[in-house]
Chain A
Amino acid sequence: EADIYQTPRYLVIGTGKKITLECSQTMGHDKMYWYQQDPGMELHLIHYSYGVNSTEKGDLSSESTVSRIRTEHFPLTLESARPSHTSQYLCASSNGNSAYEQYFGPGTRLTVT
């Protein structure tokens, strides 16, 4: 079992609200990632980080933002949630490049009404 945690697991929120999805890992991994996954579709990378104070946008454009102030913590924030943001958000971490394993958290299922 990977030591990577996400909270909340489920979130239902109204349009226009600000939300933060939490992700923490205790493995000391440098690299962390956020993916978005819709039902029956592939995972899309929306943000990644090489390490502390490093954040980059991924392949899929997202209105969310991320921060990496501590190695173990990689929160994702939506300033103003919209129904189009309804999706599953998965956080992952790894200890190296593409040859290394990525460990995934359990995900946050977000529904914006």
Chain B
Amino acid sequence: KNQVEQSPQSLIILEGKNCTLQCNYTVSPFSNLRWYKQDTGRGPVSLTIMTFSENTKSNGRYTATLDADTKQSSLHITASQLSDSASYICVVSDRGSTLGRLYFGRGTQLTVWP
């Protein structure tokens, strides 16, 4: 069973609308949580990274929240643009490894229509 679960699996919204993507994790002990954007045929690019003590972090129109008690995170996209169409991947790392090993969700495929 994957230790990082994302929902929804896919989402279609109209340009200009807002949306929220969800991430639940069981990774322990927790180190940090990241949201990546992956365009089709490209490597993931980091949007935000949050540690245990951070509840929210913004990067332009992207705002991530973290509830370490319930082990949940969300990524809110404001005023969506066509270029936001991509897969958004939630990634959690643990404190038990010096490697920097990451646990990946399967991603939410977002499509923004004009």
Contacts and interface: CB of A to CB of B under 8 A. Distances in A.
Contacts, number: 71
Interface stretch (A13-21, A65-73, A74-82, A93-101): A93-101
Interface in B61-83: none
B93 interface: yes
B19 to A, nearest CB: 19
Nearest to A48: B99
Interface string B29-63: 00110001000011111100101000000000000
- For chain A, the bracket of interface size reads 20 to 34
Contacts of B89: 42-43
B103 to A, nearest CB: 8
A44 B89 CA distance: 13
Contacts of A103: 46
Range of interface residues on B (Cβ < 8 Å):
20 to 34
Interface string B94-105: 110111111011
Contacts of A50: 99
A50 B93 CA distance: 17
10 contacts: A31-B100, A40-B107, A43-B102, A45-B102, A50-B99, A97-B99, A98-B31, A104-B43, A106-B43, A107-B41
Interface of B: 2, 4, 31-32, 36, 41-46, 49, 51, 89, 93-95, 97-102, 104-107, 109
In the A-B complex, the 9 residue pairs with the smallest Cβ-Cβ separation, listed nearest first, are A104-B43, A98-B93, A42-B104, A98-B100, A43-B104, A98-B31, A42-B106, A97-B100, A104-B44
